């Protein structure tokens, strides 16, 4: 099988949430898997000087109109997170803790957690993440202990640094065989690239 599609996302990125509903089916259509890679955009924005969409004058207003409109187009339910953006450090650490031992479980929990975040559940608190993981067969106590270890913290930082080195400046950021596509509105181009191998 070809290498997986890298799906970089932030748990609090609205457009990554939309893309998260499409990416697995899109990959499967082309016989690919998806490697779900959460990032911490807050840290990345410090490097680029960018800001969360809602905080940018005018652009924030557009986003507040465009995002629900695009959610309707994607037929995806939304309860917009409050607060927004929110810290997803515990969620991200959880994924990188799981990833080495059970990458499939890590992907599935990524999907579950971003869905939870945009459907009225808290994923900020470590306990909230642990509760959701627990509903999905992961030991909450082991999780809560693991995400406070230096090893998992270091893995999380290394993953974010690797994403930065690759050029991930926003989300969703989708890499197909080294080719980067930014934005939920580029899924058609991802589809085409997978189909044709480039243009």
Query: Could you tell me if residue 31 is left (phi over 0), alpha (psi between -120 and 50 degrees) or otherwise beta?
Result: left
- Cα separation, 114 vs 39, whole angstroms: 12
Q: What is the nearest approach in angstroms of a second copy to the Cβ of residue 146? A: 31
Q: What is the nearest approach in angstroms of a second copy to the Cβ of residue 3? A: 19
Q: What is the nearest approach in angstroms of a second copy to the Cβ of residue 91? A: 23
CA 83 to chain centre: 17
Q: Which is nearer to a second copy, 26 or 147 (CB)?
A: 26
Q: What is the nearest approach in angstroms of a second copy to the Cβ of residue 157? A: 18
- Cα separation, 100 vs 140, whole angstroms: 18
Q: Which is nearer to a second copy, 46 or 82 (CB)?
A: 46
Q: Which is nearer to a second copy, 116 or 184 (CB)?
A: 184
**Whether 103 contacts 35, CB under 8 Å:** yes
Instruction: At 13, list the tokens.
Output: 């990125």
* Three-state DSSP state, 36: strand
Can you give the binding site for a second copy, defined by CB under 8 A? 44, 47-51, 56-59, 61-62, 65-66, 69-70, 72-73, 164, 167-170, 180-183, 185-186, 188-189, 192, 199
- Cα separation, 174 vs 91, whole angstroms: 20
Q: Which is nearer to a second copy, 66 or 122 (CB)?
A: 66
Q: Which is nearer to a second copy, 51 or 146 (CB)?
A: 51
Kind plus residue range of the DSSP H or E element containing 110: helix 103-117
Q: What is the nearest approach in angstroms of a second copy to the Cβ of residue 100? A: 27
């Amino acid at each position: 099988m070809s290498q997986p599609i890298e799906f970089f996302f932030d748990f609090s990125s609205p457009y990554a949430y939309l893309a998260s509903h499409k990416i697995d089916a899109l990959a499967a259509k082309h016989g690919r898997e998806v490697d779900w890679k959460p990032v911490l955009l807050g840290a990345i924005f410090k490097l680029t000087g960018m800001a969360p969409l809602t905080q940018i004058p005018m652009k924030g207003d557009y986003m507040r109109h465009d995002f629900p409109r695009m959610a309707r187009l994607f037929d995806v339910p939304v309860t917009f997170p409050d607060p927004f953006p929110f810290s997803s450090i515990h969620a991200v650490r959880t994924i990188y803790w799981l990833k080495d031992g059970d990458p499939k479980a890590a992907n599935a929990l990524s999907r579950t957690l971003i869905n939870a975040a945009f459907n009225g559940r808290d994923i900020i608190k470590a306990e909230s993440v642990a509760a959701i993981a627990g509903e999905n067969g992961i030991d909450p106590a082991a999780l809560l202990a693991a995400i406070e270890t230096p090893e998992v913290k270091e893995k999380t930082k290394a993953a974010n640094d690797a994403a930065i080195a690759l050029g991930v400046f926003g989300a969703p950021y989708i890499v197909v065989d080294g080719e980067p596509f930014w934005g939920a509105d580029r899924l058609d181009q991802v589809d085409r690239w997978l189909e044709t191998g480039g243009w």
